Amino acid sequence: MRIGIFLVAAGFPGTSPGEVLSGTVDAVVAAEEAGFDDAWIAEHHFMSYGVCPSAATLAAYALGRTSRIGVGTAVSVLSAQHPVALAEQAAMLHHLSGGRFTLGVGRGGPWVELEVFGTGVDRFERGFPESLDLLCAALSGGRVSGEGEFFRFREVEVVPPARLRPVVACTSEQTVRLAAGRGLPMLLGMHIGDLEKRRLADLYGPGNPGHVAAGVGFVADSTARAVREFTEAAPRWLEPGLAGYVAIDGKPRAQRDARKYADFLAGVHPVGSAELCAERILRTAEVSGIDRLILLVEGGGQERTIDNIRRLGAEVLPKVRARRDGTPGPVEG
């Protein structure tokens, strides 16, 4: 079982972007010291929900600050960039890190970066399969050419070559089938619970090529205190952050209620005492059938993130690993 942290570079009010970004890298270092297996970094554009517009760039910096922990992107937005250029970056990080880098990609949304970067809504709406295939071809260790609707170019050799299999964020049945058809592992988000994760894993089909399940991880002395701290702090980031999504496809959308979302996250993910966090991590693995988990650790604010990582590492990870090895122990109800 692999357990990692998930970082969105959350822009809490009153914290400068520089403080957020440096704190995000510090969190990766703390996660390595705390015994986590991985750290995954999100990418967002033109919004405070996450102030990291290039997950690959921040991953590179974090890889340079660490020596053991795996670092991934969750995700690099494929619809907003050229897949071969992203493959080149991934290949560099693969070689420079000694194989510690994992590229996670997603379709993204119909957001304003498509307009700013010139990739357009059409590529978002129907071009993701072509972009994904071109990315995989560029990461196959050889040559690549573009012969589709959105990419047409002569054959070139990808330098440096690398053989990598990206992880694909799946938020719809269509994308699940797309990933399954290519044998690519899925990344399932924290916005769904264990049963929905299991449904999508079953839809994917037999076998698990390395699926990843995202959730929240937040520990305190008691479950009541953890829930209170998280549900009071997280909306201060979520409310202005979620408002930053600017759609360009003309379709009406209701903004997610930040407080209800925080309540949902605290209710289904490892938010509580060390015993409860361990129980919910094990339950997610058992119910979903996915044994690679990443936990959002920033929900309590930047001043609480490093402490949260250290406590999860010291108090929760040993319980999870002991029980996975068959050692009995008390579980909080």
Has residue 329 got a pLDDT over 70?
no
Give residue-wise pLDDT tens across range 45-93.
999 999 999 999 999 999 999 999 999 999 999 999 999 999 999 999 9
- Which one, of 265, 276, 203, lies nearest residue 233 by Cα? 265
Q: Is the separation of the CB atoms in 318 and 324 below 8 Å?
A: no
pLDDT band of 325, cuts 50, 70, 90: confident
Can you state the percent helix, strand and coil of the chain, rounding each to 5? 45, 15, 35
Q: Give the pLDDT score at 324.
A: 87
Give residue-wise pLDDT tens across range 236-256.
999 999 999 999 999 999 989
Tokens of 172: 């719809």
Q: Domain 2-118+165-324: what homologous superfamily?
A: Luciferase-like domain (3.20.20.30)
Q: Give the pLDDT score at 215.
A: 98
Domains of the chain, by residue range, sit at: 2-118+165-324
Burial class (CB in 10 A: 0-12, 13-18, 19+), 243: middle
Tokens of 163: 């053989």
Has residue 326 got a pLDDT over 80?
no
State the alpha helices, DSSP H only, in the chain.
17-34, 55-65, 83-96, 113-116, 120-126, 128-138, 173-182, 194-204, 223-242, 258-268, 274-288, 302-311, 317-324
- Which one, of 125, 103, 108, lies nearest residue 184 by Cα? 103
Give residue-wise pLDDT tens across range 259-312.
999 999 999 999 999 999 999 999 999 999 999 999 999 999 999 999 999 999
Q: Fill in the DSSP letter of residue 89.
A: H
DSSP 53-72: S-HHHHHHHHHHH-SSSEEE
| Cα 230-233-239 angle, rounded to 5 deg | 115
Element (H, E) at 39: strand 38-41
**Residue whose tokens read 């702090």:** 233
Give residue-wise pLDDT tens across range 114-145.
999 999 999 999 999 999 999 999 999 999 99
Query: In angstroms, rounded to a whole number, what is the distance separating the alpha carbons of residues 121 and 163?
Result: 30
Q: Give the pLDDT score at 327.
A: 56
Burial class (CB in 10 A: 0-12, 13-18, 19+), 323: middle
User: Which residues lie closer than 8 Å to 263 by C-beta, 6 or more apart?
Assistant: 231
